[in-house]
Structure 1
């Protein structure tokens, strides 16, 4: 064993296999081979790695296999990193990709310090995020089912006179409609039944979320974020479940970059060119953030709904939320007055809104808040 050297290990992880490559210190990278993904085979790999060096650093790409391998390796005392696949350096024109080459590339990039680690949530945080994502997926399925039914009716020349927003009048009209053909009626009934099933699924998941969030460690953050304009229970749950611990961001700009709302840049010498936002990071969190930002195009005011959400929230946070609303509403109007499009102005507001979320969320974790759903 070489106690004075660091063993760098790259793992190319798949559902049924893991390709392993390693290098001791600055030595040439070697391929250890391919192993299975069972716990016994991973433990045998750990013993082989421990026999080669005292300090072992492992890395694998974030993917559909999750963080189970990271937790297993961390429990063995290894320094393990889960890296972002989109930020791995790649040579232009490289046309050959194999598991062996990917594992070797991970070793070299880890040794050079060129990899960006992703945040690994705790088991509890990941479980709550899974529940929140199931709820978001059910609401998306409901939206698609409604669109399919509206398209079916339009295809057969059935048009609703009014606003087809699935309000009471729209639903009553749909419930009284029928087709002459039994086949078309069967298809129509199945579309309606799909909507009813998705509505029931959304109700079950929302009830479960409202019951579970009270015992979640980030429940104070969910409460404090709802004090802000445009962030209701749906948005707060989605944002906090995806962002996780806001204290891992040392500066609000780090959160803005993680969500992907910072401008892209291509500068050289004295020329500085900025383009559209990077759209890196979590797309669902970015979607929720931009949707919330659109509410700031209206003049600043505290509605009855916002007052209800602010009940029991410390005055310090309420004042901070009001400052954010005034600043962001003014920011939107100024950008539009300067000739910026509404979409560009909303993205700029979303970027600053991320900074206020960082501030108010961290402030909420440090305060004692009431435990109500």
Structure 2
């Protein structure tokens, strides 16, 4: 195994498949390792190129192997799939990974630090708690509607329902139903407090970094979005341009071109769904403000004049993503564009 230069590693929860080749491409090892034997196996090897699919636990194993001196490359699973010959299994997947990692045009996923993954966990848990809050509110609405009690949509409507549940003298709600509704209210209170604590941690993570402070100066980028960008985009220089970052997020038109004819459709919706939605929401806030108070940016004025609000929001989100990439790579601060006078 001294001649191994490249390894394809197919990871799982407890079983790991290794496919190692030398500099000429000759297969030197194909073996299955248990979780306890993985790191000792790589500790005995000289530094080599290790390819891993970017999936669950991949960043953890990448950090562990980098600490042992290996050059670890993470690749999107959809870029590795074309190299699987046939009969998908662990051995075939490891061979495909080993083949894909040697391609000069392969695109790699930067390895995230434990701190970056912690911030990303804050955003994922916040999204899950927000869904649970909506689920609990909708559940109370539907149950009370069975007794003829309805309320307007929004926060005020939920507060009216909470007042009905808390009023034990209200005969419209039977005792057993009130008991169940009080359980939902207790869960709703806990979820709301957890969301507030989560938001506090997210805002703290955005404000404590110099990059996060610079990103929050961009119109439409708040603490939540700035924190998510810093944690998600580990290395902005991995993207060749701002358009590459916007394409990775999924804010560019989908192409179906052939024979020299370009056919562009709606946005691809690739990449991080949460990051894309926050960019669009931030752009909607900028457009709403411009509609009420006006704006000095001629590009946005012309866009709003010829496109619908939602189309303009997506276009502005694309532009915001490009500005974010420029700020991250150049280290400069955001400057409001100067108005060109006739």
TM-score, scaled relative to structure 1: 0.77
Q: Distance in 2 between matches of 1:210 and 1:95?
A: 48
Residues in 1 aligned to 2:298 and 2:140: alpha-carbon distance in whole angstroms? 41
Please tell me whether the aligned partners of residues 120 and 231 of structure 2 are also in contact (alpha carbons under 8 angstroms): yes
Q: How does 1:19-168 map to 2 (within 5 A)?
A: 19-29=17-27, 31-38=29-36, 41-47=38-44, 49-50=45-46, 56-90=48-82, 96-113=87-104, 115-160=106-151, 163-167=152-156
- Partner residue, 1:259: 249
Q: Which residue does the alignment assign to 1:319?
A: none
22-31 or 347-356, larger mean C-alpha shift: 22-31
Q: For residues 330 and 118 of structure 1, what CA distance do their matches in structure 2 show? A: 37
Matched, 1:330 2:323: no
Shift of 1:191: 1.6
Match of 1:280 among 260, 267, 270: 270
Equivalent residue in structure 1 for 2:12, among 11, 14, 23: 14
Alpha-carbon RMSD across the aligned residues, in angstroms, is: 3.0
3-state DSSP of counterpart to 1:351: helix
The whole-number CA distance in structure 2 between the counterparts of 1:275 and 1:301 is: 27
Shift of 1:328: 3.1
Q: Distance in 1 between matches of 2:129 and 2:303?
A: 35
Between the aligned partners of 1:268 and 1:331, the Cα distance in structure 2 is 29
The alpha carbon displacement at 1:270 in A equals: 2.2
Do 1:335 and 1:345's aligned partners in 2 also have CA atoms closer than 8 Å? yes
- Give the SS at the match of 2:51: strand
- 1:202 aligns to 2:195 (yes or no): yes
Counterpart residue number, 2:320: 353
Which TM-score applies when normalising by structure 2?
Answer: 0.83
> Does the 8 A contact of 2:206 with 2:226 survive in 1?
no
Equivalence for 1:309: none
Distance in 1 between the 2:38 and 2:139 partners?
48
Alpha carbons 1:225, 1:236 under 8 Å: kept: yes
Deviation of 1:109 after TM superposition, in Å, equals 1.7
Contact 1:20 1:34 in 2 (8 A): yes
In the TM superposition, residue 142 of structure 1 has moved relative to its aligned partner by 1.9
Measured after TM superposition, the shift of residue 18 of structure 1 is 0.7
Kept in 1: contact 2:52–2:58 (CA 8 A)? no
- Does the aligned pair in 2 maintain the 1:61–1:84 contact within 8 Å? yes
In 1: Cα distance, 2:137 partner to 2:247 partner: 35
Deviations 1:135-155 (A, max 9, x none): 333233223322222233334
Question: In terms of mean alpha carbon deviation, does 129-138 or 273-282 score higher?
Answer: 129-138
Q: State the Cα distance separating 1:250 from its structure 2 match.
A: 3.9
Report the CA distance between 1:28 and its aligned residue.
4.2
CA distance in 2, matches of 1:8, 1:78: 10
Distance 2:230 2:77 in 1: 23
- Shift in Å at residue 213 of structure 1? 4.2
Question: What does the per-residue CA deviation read over 1:249-284, in whole Å, with 9 as the maximum and x for residues that have no partner?
Answer: 342112111211112222223211222222222111
Q: What is the total number of aligned residue pairs between the two structures? A: 327
| Residue 171 of structure 1 pairs with residue 159 of structure 2 | yes
Cα distance in structure 2, aligned partners of 1:276 and 1:91 = 29
5+ long unaligned stretches in structure 2: 334-342
Which residue, 242, 251, 260 being the options, matches 1:270? Answer: 260
Distance 1:277 1:86 in 2: 19
